[in-house]
Structure 1
Amino acid sequence: MQSLSSAIHAALMTAEPRAKCFATRDVARRWRRGELSWQFDVTMPEYPARPDEPELLAPNKMPKRGKFGSERARIALWHSLAHIEFVAIDLALDMAGRFGEQMGDEFVSDFLYVAADEAMHFALLDRKLKSLGNHYGALPAHGGLWEAAHTTRHDVAARLAIVPMVLEARGLDVTPATLDRVRAAGDEHGARILARILDDEIRHVGFGTKHFMRFAETLGNPPESMWKTLVQRYFRGAVKPPFNDSARLAAGLSREFYADIAL
């Protein structure tokens, strides 16, 4: 029987996007069926495999999208979202493979569930791009999205604090406005995709918050103050309003966490 860590490692080192989606969903399915052994005999890579395209650029080198109503701006939006979801597949896989032995069965199940969701999100967005006569990889993409994972690779509390509870939580804040713009432009199909992603991301942030709070409690630390300390130490940037307080609260992330450190 293949080990859990070997299967996750293989998915992380699959570069081609369609193949990575299949590999990720296969790992999650085999884990649910009991077809992978609880062994962590393969170390997770420092960096996952990446396709030759898109070209990855520093944030300050990314081209401007332009006004939302233009075709160029619409394609740039969907391409950017597809890239975020593609990297999110690896973030969830790495979470399960890197910290699963330490954190236990439920942790692994939760984050493999997230990985399968992210693969489905990417597939939806990739099909959206193709319906517009484009494809993932055709435009440059943000090259710094893996940085938070790499910086926190030795600390599960820091990884949970930064990736689900800051980066994914930010998605809860910004997606509703994007959804409204897409719907106002008459793209109901695109709006349905974003609504599905938003619903799923509430659950994803909830998984991260749940496991962070449990871990903090095992250390005897107040979760809110521990989270703030880790964010100040590991997050390069600011926790910025406006916040989608209702979605964050649905994910278990109350204002006690973030209100007094927001800029």
Structure 2
Amino acid sequence: MSRESAGPESVVSESVAHAIRAALLTADPRTKCFAARDVARRWRRGELAFAFDVAMPDRPAWPDKPELLPPNRMPKRGKFGSVRARIALWHSLAHIEFVAIDLALDMAGRFGGEMDEEFVSDFLSVAADEALHFALLARKLESLGSHYGALPAHAGLWEAAHGTRADVAARLAVVPMVLEARGLDVTPATLERVEAAGDAHGAKILARILDDEIRHVRFGTKHFLKIAEGLGKAPESLWKYLVGTHFRGTLKPPFNDSARLAAGLSRDFYTNVAS
């Protein structure tokens, strides 16, 4: 994404880091969506300075609800045909997208200073996409008579960010190239199940998310490859080392090889590390 000039008469008075920090410290989901998209828009228009004069928070601000639980305490969704199970699915997806807003904002704000303007542009555009995804899913929940925060949610999604807060290569390896890439694997099956249930609107939302997530993983892969090249290391070997060091989970097939390849992730990266 190219960045426009603010114009010769414009005064750029706020740093991009300050604007990102403010968005991260916004707890209300709807307001955070607006804040994330506003930061991306102002950056694209050249209204924010490429300066990193404030630190990112260790943890973003989140609403009181949903209640955050460890993965092993999350309730089972049940069969998709029931309204309860459908609400549980959309709520889970909404929570993933909500945390993804913060993951993208933190990526740009925490590491933008050591990377470059293209890096900031890419991940602020990701944050704006995730905000749109969350808004679509929140409205979907409302159409089913529920809302975001009505059910408990997975507490572990931010752990990958916190554990890689000191190393941009590790963050790229784990968040876009493992966690978001996993979305490329599982979303098509979910989309088929939603279509089979006759939910054309829900299928359209998932198709939009899948298309965007390919681009998000591609951004992560692109910047990871640049880092590996700068270090003089083979990207596949570096990625495997960083994933082995920083990722607590396991990489499980089946993989959506075509979507991963479209995102720049060849099988050379993940075949031998899959369990």
Shorter-chain TM-score range = over 0.9
- CA–CA distance in 2 between the matches of 1:138 and 1:90? 20
Alignment equivalent of 1:220, drawn from 223, 228, 232? 232
Alignment equivalent of 2:215, drawn from 195, 198, 203? 203
C-alpha RMSD of the superposition = 0.3
How big is the shift at 1:39? Answer: 1.1
Query: What's 2:167 paired with?
Result: 155
The AA in structure 2 aligned to 1:68 is F
The AA in structure 2 aligned to 1:206 is R
Does 2:73 correspond to 1:51? Answer: no
Does 2:271 correspond to 1:256? Answer: no
Does 2:185 correspond to 1:173? Answer: yes
SS at match of 2:113: helix
How big is the shift at 1:38? Answer: 1.3
Runs of 4+ in structure 1 off by over 4 angstroms are: none
Does 2:229 correspond to 1:183? Answer: no
Query: What's 1:120 paired with?
Result: 132
- CA–CA distance in 2 between the matches of 1:237 and 1:144? 11
Alignment equivalent of 1:18, drawn from 21, 30, 36? 30
Specify every segment of 5 or more residues in structure 1 that has no aligned partner in the other structure, as ranges. none
Query: What's 1:133 paired with?
Result: 145
How big is the shift at 1:64? Answer: 0.5
How big is the shift at 1:222? Answer: 0.3
- CA–CA distance in 2 between the matches of 1:53 and 1:33? 34
- CA–CA distance in 2 between the matches of 1:185 and 1:154? 44
Deviation digits for residues 46-72 of structure 1 (CA, Å, limit 9, x no counterpart):
000010100000000000001111111
With the length of structure 1 as denominator, give the TM-score of the two structures.
Answer: 1.00
Alignment equivalent of 1:97, drawn from 106, 109, 116? 109
With the length of structure 2 as denominator, give the TM-score of the two structures.
Answer: 0.95
Does 2:255 correspond to 1:243? Answer: yes
Q: Among the aligned pairs, what percent are the same residue? A: 78
Does 2:98 correspond to 1:83? Answer: no
The AA in structure 1 aligned to 2:182 is R
Deviation digits for residues 166-190 of structure 1 (CA, Å, limit 9, x no counterpart):
0000000000000000000000000
Higher relative helix content: 1
Specify every segment of 5 or more residues in structure 2 that has no aligned partner in the other structure, as ranges. 1-12
Deviation digits for residues 71-124 of structure 1 (CA, Å, limit 9, x no counterpart):
110000000000000000000000000000101000000000000000000000
Q: Map 1:21-40; keep pairs closer than 5 Å.
A: 21-40=33-52
How big is the shift at 1:5? Answer: 0.4
- CA–CA distance in 2 between the matches of 1:223 and 1:132? 45
